[in-house]
Structure 1
């Protein structure tokens, strides 16, 4: 697939430059970000390139900081789901040069996070994957960003049936935040490469080889 050929050329180019490279995988909820991330990690492994993935959903804050805060639900999801400034300082500012960084990892069952050390020594490529990745506070730390384009109805269809029953939560919390992000920051325009979810699906099934 043409998009993946572009990615491979970019990876090979950046590895030859002998510096750590920061890949961003952006896209709305259920668009296939983790699928693409895993495919890239597999590609790197096949080429004996040291890579690691960081999933932003591992670093959200406790529920009390993102629910029932008095703000509108979409605002909670977009602005409060992560400690934006803390992640900028502890994660993004340290991606290029640090061999170890300390990050807050969220435990969903305990509704708390614990700081853990992430080892980046010898890593040639770091993939950061998450929704709203190209927000103004983080965008400049990414060397190359891919945005996965996937229609809302397809993404909603990928949710389990129980989750789909609470459609008001999607309307008031998730979709309004997504609309805000798409209209305000125009991530498709700013990304270095846009990949269709359907192309990704075909490639992951092995049809695009």
Structure 2
């Protein structure tokens, strides 16, 4: 199961709560963050430290994620949270995809509170991240492809938009 969405939307927290809920129902659950499969900085930044294309194309070691996690035998429910999880090379591995949706005007300030980055999605320092995620939207249309779409702008009152 993929928990997808942009930086700062609440993927890891949501995935943890989902995993806990499944465990409470007696399911064996393995939770993994795609962030554990980031390429080293020289690979991530080979197109430039501010490159949206570099963020979208070079951030993650997808072959390692596939080999180490997604192809592994599963006796458990696998919950993976991360960015760009509906890329073409990953789609076949998900029994279900959940996309947490919120505007950049909400998620970028959340990310800034977490990591000290600039809170304005239009700031030049955010061009890599916001631009890379927009490239993902244009290439993969994750909101439309997701099995479950959740408006996650208000963390206290998420709203299931689909199904």
TM superposition shift of 1:89: 3.2
**Mapped pair 1:28 → 2:6:** yes
Q: How many residues align?
A: 153
| TM-score for the superposition, normalised by structure 2 | 0.84
Q: CA RMSD in A?
A: 2.1
| Cα deviations by residue, 1:32-63 (Å, 9 ceiling, x for unpaired) | 11121111112112111111111001111111
The aligned residue for residue 151 of structure 2 is: 196
| Cα deviations by residue, 1:108-134 (Å, 9 ceiling, x for unpaired) | xxxxxxxxxxxx6x42x1101101000
**Mapped pair 1:73 → 2:25:** no
The aligned residue for residue 138 of structure 2 is: 183
Distance 1:46 1:28, change over 3 A: same
The aligned residue for residue 125 of structure 2 is: 169
| Cα deviations by residue, 1:70-97 (Å, 9 ceiling, x for unpaired) | 4571121111111223333333223xxx
Q: Rg larger in 1 or in 2?
A: 1
1:1-209 equivalences under 5 Å are 23-67=1-45, 69-70=46-47, 73-94=51-72, 98=73, 122-123=75-76, 125-158=77-110, 159-160=112-113, 162-164=116-118, 167-171=123-127, 173-198=128-153, 200-202=155-157
Unmatched tracts of structure 2, length 5 or more: 159-163
Q: Is the contact made by 1:44 and 1:51 (CA closer than 8 Å) also made in structure 2?
A: yes
Measure, in 2, the Cα distance between the counterparts of 1:201 and 1:46: 21
Unmatched tracts of structure 1, length 5 or more: 1-22, 99-119, 204-209
Distance 1:175 1:199, change over 3 A: closer
